[in-house]
Structure 1
């Protein structure tokens, strides 16, 4: 899974391609590539948020396990 840093990097790189670079390359539409990178970065960022919230949320009643290792033997 891509981390938050890579997602933000993709969004930033996409914004640079979309608005900052004015060069014209044959066969490559830089503004369209920028939009694609921003969409992929935003989707990855949102997916990270969803996955993080799912793993941290407790599900139901957790089973309590009694650990008697610190008790003296009977």
Structure 2
């Protein structure tokens, strides 16, 4: 999940949990909102972790050179 998608889930969950006052039979919109907020938060943490993990620092210096020959 991308960071933008996670933030979108958090925003959508906050809208459902705090701003919507509609009453749908069989669906608790506040609970759905909180579930989306938690899911978006988990996705955000995972996305940030994976983004920081991708940064590989390579030490300059030694290079391996492989020479190929056509034959003996």
TM-score, normalised via structure 2 length: 0.78
Q: Which runs of 5+ in 1 are unaligned?
A: 67-74
Q: CA deviation at 1:4?
A: 1.1
Instruction: Report the 3-state secondary structure (helix = DSSP H, G, I; strand = E; otherwise coil) of the residue aligned with 1:36.
Output: helix
Give aligned pairs, total: 67
**1:17-28 map, 5 Å:** 17-28=16-27
1:29 and 2:32 equivalent? no
1:14 and 2:13 equivalent? yes
Could you say what the CA RMSD is over the residues aligned between the two structures, in angstroms? 2.6
1:33 and 1:63, CA in 2 relative to 1: closer, same or farther beyond 3 A?
farther
1:23 and 1:62, CA in 2 relative to 1: closer, same or farther beyond 3 A?
farther
Comparing 57-66 with 24-33, greater Cα deviation is found at 57-66
CA distances 1:43-68 after superposition (whole Å, capped 9, x unpaired): 000000111111114378886345xx
Q: Which runs of 5+ in 2 are unaligned?
A: 66-72
